[in-house]
């Protein structure tokens, strides 16, 4: 993983912040957020979050944390809303907060009432004492974090430099669990979140960023030392035949697609995707879940799979089968939810075409490309994870909780 820190660029962001009457550290926060966000093998499409704690001239402590729904790649200072820090710290030991209560706490303590909602992981950023905190969903880390023996792997690579956290639902519960874990291991330099990703922190922007890059590089090196290839994002080297595209488009439209008459498709085929599709266990591995939990709001819990010689009739049958499976998934899990749930549309966001490639689906080209990007990354993760051991993401019940979590759905509304 290439370290993109550049002293001149960093100083430029400091100068811009000061010229706008902002703290130098906020400028650095924007800078390192962007150099994290521009690397697809660290975060994709709104994933990950960052923060910085600042002491104002009057001694008041505040935290700037990524606003929900913002992309790190293009973030600006308004995308890092400021929140008074002390009320967040006080709330840690005042009893469990529901989702609405957590959001209300964060909004109540915003310095600017019209600022965006802080990240759902804002409290964890607040409870970690270092000035800068970074969180990513690195491809290499997910290859290893999505293993049953993830903790054993982590300790083999990092020793006690990282602390291990079993999967916990993001939001308030994760914030408390992460804070408690850090209290147990105050000398650690980061948190390894099973099935989720990696947190790093430091006294300076560079220290936290360098730790992130170094830890991800060590994960990449571990995979490579096993003789397992983990290529970066690859350029599509083929196109979907017009005949198959027309059949897919027609079947989707006749089936009453939720995208009305505009069904955008993003086709891609790469060596990694074709390796993934050639796996004889594709039906199994493709339906175990998403590589990191929040991908489910973009690409559903599983893809649709068709053959390369599928005709419109068999594609229509595959769509109907997908809808039935999705409704069954909903009906299995909705009764266990803490509040009533209404089923979302039962339509695939990714179509896997055996021996050909994958298609991202969406209401427009951007949404389809997002699905395609996540599908392509998933293929690379699963290829390597299956060679390390067994790709094992979070279970279906936890995945359902993420997909139907009101705070995750809010991200899509903002988009």
| DSSP symbol at 106 | H
- Residue 162's H or E segment, with its range, is strand 162-165
Question: Could you give the CA distance from residue 146 to residue 219 in angstroms, rounded to a whole number?
Answer: 13
The Cα 83–Cα 200 span in angstroms is: 21
| Fold match between domain 7-225 and domain 242-414 | yes
- Tens of pLDDT along the chain (415 residues) come to 999 999 999 999 999 999 999 999 999 999 999 999 999 999 999 899 999 999 999 999 999 999 987 999 999 999 999 999 999 999 999 999 998 899 999 999 999 999 999 999 999 999 999 999 999 999 999 999 999 999 999 999 999 999 999 999 999 999 999 999 999 999 999 999 999 999 999 999 999 999 999 999 999 999 999 999 999 999 999 999 999 999 999 998 887 778 766 789 999 999 999 999 999 999 999 999 999 999 999 999 999 999 999 999 999 999 999 999 999 999 999 999 988 899 999 999 999 999 999 999 999 999 999 999 999 999 999 999 999 999 999 999 999 999 998 766 655 454 4
**Would you tell me which CATH number, out of the four given (3.40.50.720, 3.30.930.10, 2.40.420.20, 3.40.225.10), belongs to the domain 242-414?**
3.40.225.10
Q: Alpha-carbon torsion 40, 41, 42, 45, what sign?
A: positive
Domain boundaries, the chain: 7-225, 242-414
HSE (side-chain half, CA atoms, 13 Å) at 86: 5
**DSSP per residue over 328-356, as a string?**
HHHHHHGGGSSS---PPP---SEEEETTT
Helix (H, G, I), strand (E, B) or coil at 243: helix
Phi and psi at 119, nearest 5°, equal -50, 150
Two tokens at 126?
A: 């607040």
Q: In this structure, what token pair is assigned to residue 21?
A: 């009457």
Report residue 84 as tokens: 């008074």
Burial degree of 31 (CB within 10 A; 0-12, 13-18, 19+): buried
Q: Which fold has domain 7-225?
A: L-fuculose-1-phosphate Aldolase (3.40.225)
């Amino acid at each position: 993983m290439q370290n993109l820190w550049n002293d001149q660029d960093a100083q430029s962001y400091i100068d811009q912040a000061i010229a706008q009457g902002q703290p130098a550290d906020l400028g650095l926060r924007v800078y390192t957020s962007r150099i994290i966000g521009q690397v697809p093998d660290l975060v994709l499409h709104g994933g990950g979050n960052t923060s910085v704690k600042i002491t104002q001239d009057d001694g008041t402590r505040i935290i700037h944390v990524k606003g929900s729904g913002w992309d790190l790649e293009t973030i600006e200072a308004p995308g890092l809303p400021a929140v008074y820090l002390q009320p967040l710290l006080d709330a840690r030991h005042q009893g469990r907060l529901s989702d609405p209560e957590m959001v209300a706490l964060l909004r109540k303590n915003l310095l600017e009432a019209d600022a965006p909602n802080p990240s759902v992981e804002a409290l964890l950023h607040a409870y970690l004492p270092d000035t800068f905190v970074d969180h990513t969903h690195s491809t290499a880390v997910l290859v290893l974090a999505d293993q049953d023996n993830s903790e054993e792997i982590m300790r083999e690579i990092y020793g006690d430099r990282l602390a291990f956290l079993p999967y916990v639902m993001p939001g308030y519960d994760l914030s408390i669990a992460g804070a408690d874990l850090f209290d147990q291991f105050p000398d650690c330099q980061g948190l390894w979140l099973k099935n989720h990703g990696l947190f790093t922190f430091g006294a300076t922007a560079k220290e936290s960023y360098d730790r992130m890059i170094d830890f991800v590089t060590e994960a990449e090196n571990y995979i490579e030392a096993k003789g397992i290839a983990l290529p970066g994002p690859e350029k599509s080297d083929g196109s979907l035949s017009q005949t198959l595209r027309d059949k897919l488009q027609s079947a989707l439209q006749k089936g009453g697609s939720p995208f009305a008459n505009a069904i955008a498709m993003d086709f891609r085929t790469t060596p990694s995707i074709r390796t993934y599709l050639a796996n004889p266990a594709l039906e199994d591995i493709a339906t175990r879940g998403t590589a990191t939990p929040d991908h489910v709001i973009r690409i559903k819990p599983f893809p649709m799979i068709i053959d390369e010689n599928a005709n419109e009739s068999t594609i229509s049958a595959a769509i109907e089968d997908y809808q039935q499976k999705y409704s069954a998934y909903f009906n299995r899990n909705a009764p266990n939810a803490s509040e009533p749930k209404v089923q979302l549309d039962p339509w695939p966001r990714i179509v896997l075409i055996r021996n050909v490639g994958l298609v991202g689906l969406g209401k427009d080209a951007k949404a389809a490309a997002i699905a395609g990007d996540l599908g392509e990354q998933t293929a690379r993760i699963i290829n390597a994870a299956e060679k390390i051991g067994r790709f094992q993401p979070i279970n279906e019940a936890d995945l359902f909780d993420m997909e139907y979590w009101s705070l995750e759905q809010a991200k899509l509304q903002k988009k």
